[in-house]
Structure 1
Amino acid sequence: MTQPRLLVAAASGQLGRLTVDALLESVPAARIVAGVRNPDGDAAKAFAAKGVEVRKVDYADPAGLAAAFAGIDRLLLISSNAVGARAVQHNNAISAARQAGIKLIAYTSILHADTTPLGLAEEHKLTEAALRQSGVPFALLRNGWYTENYAASIPPALAHGVFLGAAGDGRISGAARADYARAAAAVLASDESQAGHIYELAGDQAFTLTEFAAAIAKASGKPVAYKNLSEPEFKAALVGAGLPEGFAGLLADSDAGAAKDALFDDGKALSRLTGRPTTPFAETIAAAVKG
C-alpha cells in the first residue's frame, strides 16, 4: 500500500521547522513536503539538504495553493501569523485542500476554542467552522500557550528585576513549542484515522506568573518579582516596549483570560499523544536564561 505524503504548511516558521524535524524521526524524508513562502530561503535549503521536498505555499495565494497541494494526502495547516487576515487565508488553504483531494487536514487551533474568552480565538473559531463545512476530514490540534511566549520577556525582566503581566493567580498550562510540534507530527503520521479528533493540548505542569518569575530568579541568580497589572496597564506597558497597539491588546487580553484560567487544562492529552512528559517550564526558562 502506498504510504501517504505529508505536507507541513508554514514549515519555515518556528513550529513548522520543529514539526518537520519531529516527522523525520519516524517518517522517510521522501514522504515529507515542506510548504514555505520563500522556496529560495535558508529554511527551504535546510529542508532540501535533509531530503525533504520543498514547495511554495502561500496562504494569500489561492491560485498557487491547489498546485502546491497536488499529490498530498495529509496537510498540517499551521495557523497563519497574519492576525486579522487569518480566517481568509485559512479558507484559501482549506478550499485548495478540498480541490486537491487531501484526505486529512490537521489544524493548529487554540485551547478550548469553542469556550475560551480569549480574543485570539475568534479567527480560530471561524477556521474550525470552515473545516466543518468543507467536507474534508480534519483533526483539531487545539494548542495551549507556548512557554516561550512568556520566556521572550525574560531579558527585560532580568534588566529591571520585574516580570510584568495581567494574569493574576491564573494557572497557565504551558508547554514548549517542541512538545506541540511532536504532537502535530504524531497526528500527521499516525497509522490510525485522525478524522474527527479534537485534541485539547496543554502542558502537564501548570504555573502562575508568580511562579514563573521565581523560576527566572532561580535560574539567573538575580532577583525577579512578578508585578500584576490591570489589562489596560499591561497593554500600555507593552506598547511602551515597542509592540504594535493591536498586538499588545491581544496579549493583554490573553493575560486577562489567563487570570480566569482560560489557559489552564489538566487533561494531559499532549503528553499522551507524544508518549512523553511535556517540557517543564523551569527547563525552558533555564535554556532562555543561558541564551
Structure 2
Amino acid sequence: MSIVVTGATGHLGRHVVEQLLQKVPADQVTAVVRTPEKAADLAERGVNIAVADYNAPETFDTLFAAGDKVLLISGNEFDKGRVAQHKVVIEAAKAADVALLAYTSTPGSLKAALADDHRGTEEALTGSGVPYVLLRNGWYHENYTENLAPVLEHNAVVAAAGEGRVSSASRADYAAAAVAVLTGEGHENKTYELGGDEAWSLAEYAAELSRQTGKEIAYNSVSGEALKGILGGTGMPEHFVDVFVGVDASIAQGELVVSSGDLSRLAGRPTTPFAEAIAAAIKG
C-alpha cells in the first residue's frame, strides 16, 4: 500500500510530499511525475517515483494498487481537456480498487469559468464508485505574492475585484489539509470547503504592501473590460486573460470567501496570515 501523489513536483505537490515525509516512511510514498529528473532528490530520500502523463492513459494502467490512497492534483493544461485528463486517473484508480481518491478542486461557491473543469471532474469522481474526498481549495496567497514585481514597479494593485474579499491561504496550508486526509481515517465521501482564516480585500492588500515597503501603493479598481485590455496588452494569452478577469468578477461577488473553518481544522493549526506571506515574498 502506498500514498500516491500526482503532480508531485509541482508547486502544491512538492509541499504535499514534503509534509507526508514528516508523517510516514518514504517507501510508503509514491510521487507521480512526468519528468523523473525533477524528482531525483525525492528518489534519493527513498520515495517511490512513478512516471506517468495525464495525456497518455496507458501510463496509469498499472500505477495504482489495491488499498492505495491517491491525491489527484488538478492539471494545469487548460487547453488540453482537463476533465478527460482527470478521468484517466479516476478510471485507473477504480480498476485498481484504491482505498481513497482525493481531488484538489475549487470552492463550491465559485461560478467563474475556471471552476467548470473542476465541477466536471467532481461529477466523474463522485459517480465512479471510488471512495473520494473533494478538497475544494480556495485561492492561494502565492497567486499574489509570486507576482509582486509589476505591482512594486508601478506602485499599484490593478484589479477588477471591486470591494470583494478573498479567504486565501498558503500552498503549505492546503498541503497540510491534504496530508491530514491521506494519513487519517473517516474522510471517505466527504467534501471540504477550504480557505484561510482571514478574508482580505484588494484595497487591504495594497495597504499592507504600502506598510511593509514604505511605498505608496494604490489599489486601482477597474472594470472587467478595462482589465482585459490591460492584461491583453502585456501579451498574456487570451484564455488566461479570461481566467483572471473571471476570477476578479467572482471575487467582487464574494465567491472566494470561505468561512467553513475546514482548512485550519484539518491542518490542526491556524492558516498562514497573508501579511506573513507578503513579508516573506518581499524579503525574497
TM range (shorter): over 0.9
Determine if the alignment matches structure 1 residue 249 to structure 2 residue 242: yes
Tell me the residue number matched to 2:71: 76
Instruction: Please provide the CA RMSD for this pair.
Output: 1.2
Contact persistence 2:66–2:99 (CA under 8 A): no
Contact persistence 2:164–2:254 (CA under 8 A): yes
Tell me the residue number matched to 2:177: 183
Contact persistence 2:107–2:194 (CA under 8 A): yes
Gaps of 5+ in 2: none
Determine if the alignment matches structure 1 residue 111 to structure 2 residue 111: no
TM normalised by structure 2 equals 0.97
Tell me the residue number matched to 1:272: 265
- C-alpha separation in 2, matches of 1:32 and 1:25: 11
- C-alpha separation in 2, matches of 1:45 and 1:288: 27
Tell me the residue number matched to 1:14: 11
- Counterparts of residues 231-250 of structure 1 (less than 5 Å): 231-250=224-243
- C-alpha separation in 2, matches of 1:60 and 1:94: 14
Tell me the residue number matched to 2:152: 158
Letter in 2 for 1:155: A
Contact persistence 1:6–1:72 (CA under 8 A): no
Tell me the residue number matched to 1:140: 134
- Counterparts of residues 54-65 of structure 1 (less than 5 Å): 54-65=49-60
Q: Which runs of 4+ in 1 moved over 4 A?
A: none
> Structure 1 stretch 148-157 or stretch 75-84: which is displaced more?
148-157
Tell me the residue number matched to 2:96: 100
Gaps of 5+ in 1: none
Tell me the residue number matched to 1:50: 45
Q: Percent identity?
A: 46
Letter in 2 for 1:206: A
SS class of match (2:136):
strand
Determine if the alignment matches structure 1 residue 37 to structure 2 residue 30: no
SS class of match (2:281):
helix
- C-alpha separation in 1, matches of 2:42 and 2:133: 25
Tell me by how many angstroms 1:71 deviates.
5.3
Contact persistence 1:7–1:76 (CA under 8 A): yes
Tell me the residue number matched to 2:197: 204
TM normalised by structure 1 equals 0.94
SS class of match (1:12):
coil
- C-alpha separation in 2, matches of 1:58 and 1:98: 18
SS class of match (1:76):
strand
Letter in 1 for 2:4: L
